[in-house]
Amino acid sequence: MANEPDHIPGREDPKLASLEDRLRAARRAEEERTHPQTQFGVAGPGEKSAQRVISTLVGYPVGGGVVGWLFDNWLGTRPWIMLALLFLAFAGACYQVFKISKERPE
């Protein structure tokens, strides 16, 4: 190392300083990955799953009800298509929640 032109006695090696900076950045990234912020920050894996479950349980039946209502108005069969699609959408939402619960958290 003494014969290398980058090495000046008494000064820190620039390669070593660069390595230390990269190590600090890697440690910070690993800390953020393993301990995510949950308060006013990024949601953790459990919170993401809960949000998916809630949006599925609300969105599917609402969508089924709206589509059923439109078909009922168009065909004049009130309220049978809407009721059928509401029940089908709820069953689909339950199936989707079952699939979400089997997924592995990140």
pLDDT tens per residue, range 41-94? 656 667 888 899 999 999 999 999 999 999 999 999 999 999 999 999 999 999
Determine phi and psi for 37, rounding to 5 degrees: -75, 135
Distance CA 103, CA 49 (A): 9
Distance CA 81, CA 67 (A): 9
When comparing pLDDT for 98 and 41, which is higher?
98
Distant-in-sequence, close-in-space partners of 105: CB < 8 Å, separation ≥ 6? 45, 46, 49
Of 7, 101, 17, nearest to 56 by C-alpha is: 101
pTM of the model: 0.59
Distance CA 98, CA 104 (A): 12
